[in-house]
């Protein structure tokens, strides 16, 4: 690990990614800060030195984002060890902190995120925004732990605050062009300046394209490509020095052929031997194109698409009213998702169509008043959210489905027409209204000791609707009560259903933080928070009983109840050239909102249920040193122990599923042995999915002054890396889906001068490490495991200039 502390790139890097980091990254020699300069953040809705903020916060500067290649939220986990990101496609994306945020698995619109995503104070309700390129970013603040008493939407796991560069009354601009292997091309540009003495404007553009990393032998195309376009414009009206009114709009579009998987392995389940993957594939003379996932070959035969549009408009007003600042943020956002997937993960025409396009509209309004005084500082505010999500789904089976889906002992399995063309149409919507008032007070008891209480009252109302209609290949409806064996078989794959769950609730949360300034450069703090994550509705359909009827009691999920404890120490020494920060935490969650999966092909894929109790505890450490203007280094680490404390009726992993459900007095078969399967499993004590126990980020940079092509500047050599230990890639840990730990290393070498010119070559995943971002079980408990390989070695050249 120490060997990886070589050199990191570009301008100045120290990003504090754990207990309370600092980022010095700059784009030119002239802008390099003095070593005693402080990082200013607005995490508590007022500008202050990051070392004075009594919470665990990381700051990543815009220049570091550019030069480390962290061009979207998904890449943040390589810089911030406490962040977990997983995504099977843009819609099914989630950002977690310390193991909490959203349940691992398929995304449901019926619950809220536990990690809030904000851009210039605007709350983004849909996690799909996390896969778009960062656009003209000034800095990113990653706050860990509950944030509900200061931020618009209640968030129990943390918040990611993205601040973009704002319009300026001095003319400025910048442009950047990058080319690399895999046909990688990226262009960025921004320009800002005055339109009059009271009005300034800024416009920014970003475009990224890259060839896919998996070759589909069926279509002859490279899939899982990148294809992003983003545009953001801002207009600042400053009638006087006390009032800023900013009108902003953005539009982002993706249209890649995405998102496919590769074959990884098979694992024995409790299905009969003749109904497991090897036997079913042999029945149709099917052989996967490659059993080595890092050949990066697939043969999936259904259409792939990840069309994704998002954007919106916001109006933000900041008014200095004398004793404080009044802020209003009004915003509208939309999201348009047009996917196509291959849900059987094979080259067989089992599922021939799988698409669930969605449209999201969101309106938010936030008011805040912030006051700073000699003895008291406080923030009070109100927040409102109104959103609607509509989805229209189509699932269709193909000619290979009968042989794959029905039991080989059933004569109907030999007739492709039984399931060929079987189609389910899903119509659903979610309406959600949320309103809250919140506040936080800082009482400076003495010059060194501060007490900070906060409180929030929140109301949420959600109503959902789900309807599934089913038709056979001839267009005839499939209904309950039909006794024709073909209809019974079809209904076993797709069953009609209607549900309309509703939920509403009031919640009260509060927190208390005490901080003590031991010396000018040492601050200790301790926090307790009692908070919640609002309840929700099962928006993708309900589980059914033995008669195929919906279990309406499963229509809603209870709010999560959260108890959080944290203590930290923030220190600087060596004339503030070095910073060492430490945080320890424990979070207990009752009624944890977990994803429950259903193994059958074509039926309900997953729904939400409340686990009894989960817990996350750990230690986060961050160190940064800037020995001189010629050398600096950083290292951040997190140990996270995140487990189910009590979940006695969890879904079983595939090795304990697929057989006949046990009856009274019967004993389940051994894992992976065909026979009887338990109705559910006790996974108490097992690790939460997606969470590595150990995670590190580290890097360094060295530079030397030179004169090149008549320019005075410096040559720099940089390195940054990250490591994550293994993690479970299934809601109930399975022996077949543990993702092995891996370390990634990135290098860059280049030249920059004090005019803003910067040119450097880079290589990411320099040692071409083979690793998986996620593993997934194929449907029907056949034992098929597929995966999404991480990016291979990439390299390229970046040229940047500013004026």
Strands 158-164 and 115-119: parallel
Q: How far apart are CA 499 and CA 144, in angstroms?
A: 37
Helix, strand, or coil here: 546? Answer: coil
**Out of 104-113, 154-163, 206-215, 379-388, least confident range:** 104-113
Least confident of 391-405, 599-613, 722-736: 599-613
The Cα 365–Cα 328 span in angstroms is 7
Q: Average pLDDT of the chain?
A: 89
- On whether the CB atoms of residues 307 and 255 are closer than 8 A, the answer is yes
Nearest to 69 by CA among 772, 745, 801: 745
| Residue found under tokens 């487990």 | 643
Residues β-bridged to residue 772 = 789
Residues 273 and 280: their CA atoms lie apart, in Å, by 9
**Residue carrying the six token digits 């815009």:** 62
pLDDT (average), residues 452-465: 96
Taking residue 388's Cβ as centre, other Cβ atoms within 10 Å add up to 15
Q: Give the list of residues 6+ apart from residue 474 with CB closer than 8 angstroms, or none.
A: 421
CA–CA gap between residue 258 and residue 241 (Å, rounded):
49
> For residue 107, what pLDDT is reported?
66
Residue whose entry in the numeric block shows the structure tokens 């060997």: 3
Joined together, the tokens standing for residue 286 give: 């099917």
* Structure token digits, residue 337: 């998702």
CA 136 centroid distance within chain: 20
Q: Is the pLDDT reported for residue 549 higher than 80? A: no
Average pLDDT over residues 3-32: 32
The class of domain 2-261+300-647+683-780 in CATH terms is mainly beta
**What is the arithmetic mean of pLDDT over 480-505?**
93
| Mean pLDDT value of segment 759-771 | 97
Residue 467, token pair as written in the block: 């309807």
Residues 6+ away with beta carbon under 8 Å from 741: 692, 694, 723, 724, 725, 726
Q: What is the pLDDT of residue 101?
A: 87
The residue with greater pLDDT, 86 or 124, is: 124
What sections of 73-197 are H helices per DSSP? none
Q: Give me 394's structure tokens.
A: 């189509």
The pairing of beta strand 606-628 with beta strand 93-97: unpaired
Name the token pair of 83. 């962040």
Kindly indicate the confidence band of residue 57, based on its pLDDT and cuts at 50, 70 and 90.
confident
What pLDDT does residue 3 have? 37
Taking 90 as the threshold, does the pLDDT of residue 150 lie above it?
no
**What pLDDT, in 10s, does the model give residues 328-339?**
999 999 999 999
Q: Which element (helix H / strand E) includes 564?
A: strand 560-573
The per-residue pLDDT for range 668-699, each reduced to its tens digit, is 999 999 999 998 899 999 999 999 999 999 99
What letters, b where the CB count within 10 A reaches 16 and e where it falls short, cover 193-231? ebeeeeebbbbbbbbbbbbbbbbbeebeebbbbbbbbbb
Q: What is the pLDDT of residues 172-190, one digit of tens each?
A: 999 999 999 999 999 999 9
Task: Tell how many helices (H) and how many strands (E) occur in the chain.
Answer: 4, 45
262-266 β-sheet, strand order? 262-266, 784-789, 772-777
Per residue in 271-308, pLDDT (tens digit) is 999 999 999 999 999 999 999 999 999 999 999 999 99
> What pLDDT does residue 223 have?
96
> Over the Cα atoms of the chain, what is R_g?
27
Nearest residue to 95 via CA among 116, 112, 79: 116
Place of tokens 């992976």: 672
In the chain, the N- to C-terminal Cα span, in Å, equals: 40
Residue 347, pLDDT above cutoff 80: yes
- Asked if 284 contacts 301 with a C-beta cutoff of 8 angstroms, the reply is no
Q: What is the mean pLDDT of residues 363-379?
A: 95
CA distance 514 to 391: 46
When mean pLDDT is compared across 49-53, 486-490, 712-716, the lowest value belongs to 49-53
Mean pLDDT of 773-779: 91
pLDDT of 77 above 90: no
Residue 764 — very low, low, confident or very high, per pLDDT cuts 50/70/90? very high
Q: Encode 384-412 in three state secondary structure.
A: EEEEEEEEEEEEEECCCHHHHHCCCCCHH
**3-state DSSP call for residue 25?**
coil
Q: Let me know: does 120 contact 57? Beta carbons within 8 Å.
A: no
pTM of the complete model: 0.91
Q: Nearest-CA neighbor of 38 among 18, 20, 65, 11?
A: 20
Q: When comparing pLDDT for 36 and 46, which is higher?
A: 46
**Residue 222: pLDDT band with limits 50, 70, 90:** very high
> What would the mean pLDDT of 530-553 be, rounded to a whole number?
83
pLDDT digits (tens, 9 = 90+) for 607-657: 778 888 999 999 999 999 999 999 999 999 999 999 999 999 888 999 999
Element (H, E) at 137: strand 137-144
* Residue of 382, 327, 387, 337 whose CA lies nearest to 363: 387
Domain coordinates in residue numbering, the chain: 2-261+300-647+683-780
DSSP state of 549: -
Cα separation, 407 vs 401, in Å, equals 11
pLDDT at residue 751 above 50? yes
Mean pLDDT across 108-129: 86
Query: What is the pLDDT, as a whole number, of residue 35?
Result: 33
Q: Kindly indicate the confidence band of residue 19, based on its pLDDT and cuts at 50, 70 and 90.
A: very low
Please tell me whether the peptide bond between 311 and the residue prior to it is cis, using omega within 30 degrees of 0: no
pLDDT of residue 6: 31
Closest listed residue to residue 727, CA positions, set 739, 744, 736: 739
């Amino acid at each position: 690990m120490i060997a990886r502390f070589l050199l990191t790139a570009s301008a100045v890097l120290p990003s504090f990614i754990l207990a309370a980091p600092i980022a010095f990254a700059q784009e030119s020699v002239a802008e390099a800060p003095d070593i005693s300069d402080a990082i200013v953040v607005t995490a508590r809705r007022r500008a202050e030195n990051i070392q004075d903020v009594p919470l665990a916060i990381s700051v990543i500067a815009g220049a570091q984002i550019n030069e480390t290649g962290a061009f979207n939220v998904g890449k943040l986990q390589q810089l911030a060890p406490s962040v977990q990101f997983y995504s099977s496609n843009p819609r099914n994306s989630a950002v977690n902190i310390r193991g909490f945020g959203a349940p691992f698995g398929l995304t449901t619109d019926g619950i809220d995120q536990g990690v809030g995503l904000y851009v210039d104070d605007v709350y983004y309700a849909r996690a799909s925004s996390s896969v778009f390129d960062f656009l003209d970013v000034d800095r990113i603040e990653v706050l860990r732990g509950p944030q509900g008493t200061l931020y618009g939407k209640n968030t129990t796991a943390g918040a990611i605050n993205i601040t973009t560069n704002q319009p300026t009354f001095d003319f400025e601009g910048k442009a950047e062009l990058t080319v690399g292997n895999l046909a990688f091309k990226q262009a960025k540009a921004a320009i800002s300046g005055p339109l009059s003495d009271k009005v300034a404007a800024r416009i920014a553009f970003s475009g990224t394209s890259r060839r896919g990393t998996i070759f589909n032998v069926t279509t002859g195309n490279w899939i899982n490509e990148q294809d992003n376009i983003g545009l953001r414009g801002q207009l600042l009206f400053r009638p006087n020095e006390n009032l800023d009114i900013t009108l902003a709009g953005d539009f982002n579009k993706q249209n890649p052929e995405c998102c496919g998987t590769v074959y990884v392995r098979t694992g024995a389940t409790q299905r009969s031997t003749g109904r497991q993957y090897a036997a079913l594939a042999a029945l149709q003379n099917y052989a996967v194109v490659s059993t080595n996932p890092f050949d990066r070959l697939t043969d999936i035969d259904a259409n792939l698409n990840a069309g994704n549009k998002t954007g919106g408009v916001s109006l933000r007003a900041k008014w200095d009213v004398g004793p404080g600042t009044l802020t209003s943020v009004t915003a509208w956002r939309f999201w348009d998702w047009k996917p196509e997937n291959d849900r059987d993960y094979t080259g067989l025409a089992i599922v021939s169509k799988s698409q669930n396009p969605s449209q999201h509209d969101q309106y938010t309004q936030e008011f805040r008043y912030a006051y700073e005084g000699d003895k008291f500082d406080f923030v009070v505010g109100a927040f409102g959210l109104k959103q609607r999500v509509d989805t229209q789904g189509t699932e269709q089976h193909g000619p290979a489905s009968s042989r794959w889906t029905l039991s080989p002992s059933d004569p109907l399995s030999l007739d492709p027409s039984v399931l060929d063309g079987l189609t389910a149409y899903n119509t659903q919507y979610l309406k959600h209204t949320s309103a809250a008032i919140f506040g936080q007070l800082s009482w400076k008891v003495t010059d060194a000791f501060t007490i900070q209480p906060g409180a929030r009252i929140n109301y949420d109302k959600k109503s959902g609707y789900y309807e599934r209609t089913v038709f056979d290949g001839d267009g005839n409806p499939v209904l309950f009560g039909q006794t024709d064996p073909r209809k019974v078989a079809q209904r076993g794959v797709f069953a009609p259903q209607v549900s309309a769950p509703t939920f509403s609730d009031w919640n009260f949360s509060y927190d208390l933080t005490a901080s003590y300034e031991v010396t000018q450069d040492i601050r200790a703090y301790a926090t307790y928070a009692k908070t919640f994550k609002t309840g929700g509705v099962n928006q993708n359909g309900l589980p059914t009983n033995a008669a195929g009827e919906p279990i309406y009691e499963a229509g809603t999920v209870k709010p999560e109840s959260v108890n959080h404890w944290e203590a930290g120490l923030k220190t600087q020494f060596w004339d503030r050239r070095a910073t060492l920060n430490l945080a320890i935490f424990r979070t207990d969650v009752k009624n944890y909102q977990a994803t429950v999966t259903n193994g059958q092909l074509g039926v309900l894929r997953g729904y939400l249920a409340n686990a009894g109790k989960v817990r996350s505890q750990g230690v986060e450490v961050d160190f940064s040193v800037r020995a001189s203007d010629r050398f600096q280094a950083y290292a951040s680490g997190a140990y996270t122990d995140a487990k189910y404390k009590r979940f006695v009726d969890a879904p079983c992993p595939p090795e304990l599923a697929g057989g006949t459900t046990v009856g009274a007095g019967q004993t389940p078969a051994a894992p992976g042995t065909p026979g009887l399967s338990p109705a559910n499993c006790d996974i108490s004590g097992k690790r939460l999915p997606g969470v590595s126990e150990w995670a590190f980020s580290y890097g360094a940079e060295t530079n030397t002054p030179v004169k090149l092509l008549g320019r005075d500047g410096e040559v720099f050599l940089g390195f940054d890396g990250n490591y994550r230990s293994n993690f479970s890639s299934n809601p109930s840990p399975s022996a077949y889906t543990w993702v092995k730990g891996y370390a990634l290393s990135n290098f860059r070498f280049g030249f920059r001068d004090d005019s803003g010119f910067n040119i450097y070559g880079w290589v990411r995943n320099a040692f071409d490490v083979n690793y998986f971002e996620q593993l997934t079980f194929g449907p029907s408990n056949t034992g098929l495991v597929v995966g999404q390989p991480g990016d291979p070695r990439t390299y390229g050249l970046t040229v940047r200039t500013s004026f």
